[in-house]
Structure 1
Amino acid sequence: MSIYDFTATLEDGTTYPLAKYRGRPMIIVNTATKCGFAPQFKELEALYQKYRDQGLVVLGFPSDQFHQELDTADAAAAACRTTWGVTFPMHQLIAVNGPAQDPLFAYLKKAAPGALGTSIKWNFTKFLIDRAGNVVERVAPKTAPLTMAPAIEQALAQA
């Protein structure tokens, strides 16, 4: 199984295969617009703007797992755009833990366990995927996205 075997659903309901990003590094992050870490949207957007022409994709997956997200994917995406200037793709609301967890996040957690093993501790857990589709880094919720720049540059430098 690889990252490219999964599909994702945008906030508007459009489903697509992650294989469309084959050969491009990705940051996959669970988000919540009412979380104290929501200012990280600004840094995630800054990384996207800086590196997208080199191939980086940032994918936001809103989750109300920790009771800090708006009621719908449309509302969450609108808040991200208007409050934080987000232009990277935002997706449908998902669960990141438990029996209803999204299969993509089950895969990510298994590929890069964190301090709590295979659980997502909080909103804004970030996963860096390299050009080959490997999960190369799991970044804690409290860690600022901009600290990921060296690892992103390394992933971008891959052939």
Structure 2
Amino acid sequence: MALFGLGAPKKDEEGLYSYSVRDIDGKNLDIAKYRGKVLLVVNVASQCGFTTQYEGLTELHNKYKSKGFEILAFPCNQFGSQEPGDAPQIKSFASNRGAKFQLADKVDVNGTAADPLFQFLKSEKGGFLTKDIKWNFTKFLCNKEGQVIKRYGTSTEPSAFEEDIVAALA
């Protein structure tokens, strides 16, 4: 049934902003804090072949943060066990790559234990053939109103959607 959208999570009028998650330090992080900002949500992993995207994400974040752009990265160990570390190890890894964007707690993005935020994101912008996330570094771009406007696959380099960020910030 989910193939036809019948099993999609129910959304309230707040949509994206109705969710809260745990940050990398285990503290509550209310997604509503991003209201009025352009937000990129991405599932990351430190031992993935696409981990070099940390640099591109950091570059975009540094370039557009002052204009209202934020990144919220979720470590995920679901794909090839490529994020085996604990929170301090993940924080250190990201910091060593210059990442100053917000890290969330490690989550599942698919399956019955998928984080509700990712259930929502996938219901808004499905992938090729299914809504499931295929691998690490899948990215969701949300506009200032909290609408999911684009989904980018794993192999899409951050520089490839810079124009979309600029347009969403305008």
TM band (smaller chain)? over 0.9
Q: Is structure 2 residue 111 aligned with structure 1 residue 89?
A: no
TM-superposed CA distance for 1:77, in Å, is 1.8
1:7 matched to which residue of 2? 20
Provide, for residues 67-91 of structure 1, a one-character-per-residue CA deviation record: whole Å limited to 9, x for no partner.
1003312211211111x11110111
Identify which of 94, 117, 120 aligns with 1:107.
120
Q: What TM-score, normalized by structure 2, do the two folds share?
A: 0.90
**1:62–1:73 CA contact under 8 A, matched in 2:** no
Residues in 1 aligned to 2:50 and 2:69: alpha-carbon distance in whole angstroms: 22
Secondary structure in 1 aligned to 2:102?
coil
2:73 matched to which residue of 1? 60
Provide, for residues 134-155 of structure 1, a one-character-per-residue CA deviation record: whole Å limited to 9, x for no partner.
0000001001011111110111
Structure whose alpha-carbon radius of gyration is higher: 2
Structure 2, unmatched stretches of 5+, are 1-10
Identify which of 55, 62, 70 aligns with 2:84.
70
CA 1:75 to 1:116, structure 2 compared with 1: closer, same or farther past 3 Å?
farther
Paired residues, number: 156
2:5 matched to which residue of 1? none
Q: Is structure 2 residue 139 aligned with structure 1 residue 130?
A: no
Provide, for residues 84-113 of structure 1, a one-character-per-residue CA deviation record: whole Å limited to 9, x for no partner.
111101111000000100000010011000
Residues in 1 aligned to 2:52 and 2:92: alpha-carbon distance in whole angstroms: 15
Residues in 2 aligned to 1:126 and 1:154: alpha-carbon distance in whole angstroms: 17
Question: Displaced runs of 4+ in structure 1, greater than 6 A?
Answer: none
Identical aligned pairs, as a percentage? 38
2:145 partner letter: A
Structure 1, unmatched stretches of 5+, are none
Residues in 1 aligned to 2:103 and 2:66: alpha-carbon distance in whole angstroms: 19
2:37 partner letter: R
Secondary structure in 1 aligned to 2:103?
coil
Identify which of 30, 55, 63 aligns with 1:17.
30
